[in-house]
């Protein structure tokens, strides 16, 4: 477990003073799974909307600027969005997807 649970444990410990809840490795895995699902769904929803707009545009070469702390700090959100946009807008060449 070790490193893969470190961030989750830090967050749980940060809020434990309010809730005083005991948790074990199984609880940590459930929390990590649920947060991964919610994060992927967020990437999917944003990518769907972005792809709809891209597919309506006539330009083939496009740069997308993204603003927001979730995009900036989430470890996998950008990777997921790049992959999803490529799948949903294959005829577009998104030359950059970066935060502003």
**pLDDT tens digits along 31-77:** 899 999 999 999 999 999 999 999 999 998 999 998 888 888 898 99
Structure pTM?
A: 0.79
Q: Which of 34, 28, 29 is nearest to 9 (CA)?
A: 28
> Rounded to whole angstroms, how far apart are CA atoms 45 and 27?
27
């Amino acid at each position: 477990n070790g490193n893969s649970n470190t961030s989750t444990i830090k967050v749980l410990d940060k809020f434990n003073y309010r809730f005083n809840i005991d948790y074990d490795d199984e609880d940590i895995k459930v929390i990590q799974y649920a947060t991964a699902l919610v994060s992927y769904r967020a990437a999917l929803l944003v990518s769907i909307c972005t792809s709809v707009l891209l597919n309506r545009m006539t330009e083939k070469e496009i740069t997308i600027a993204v603003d927001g702390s979730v995009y900036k700090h989430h470890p996998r959100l950008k990777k997921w969005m790049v992959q999803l946009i490529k799948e949903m807008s294959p005829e577009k060449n998104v030359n950059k997807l970066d935060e502003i």
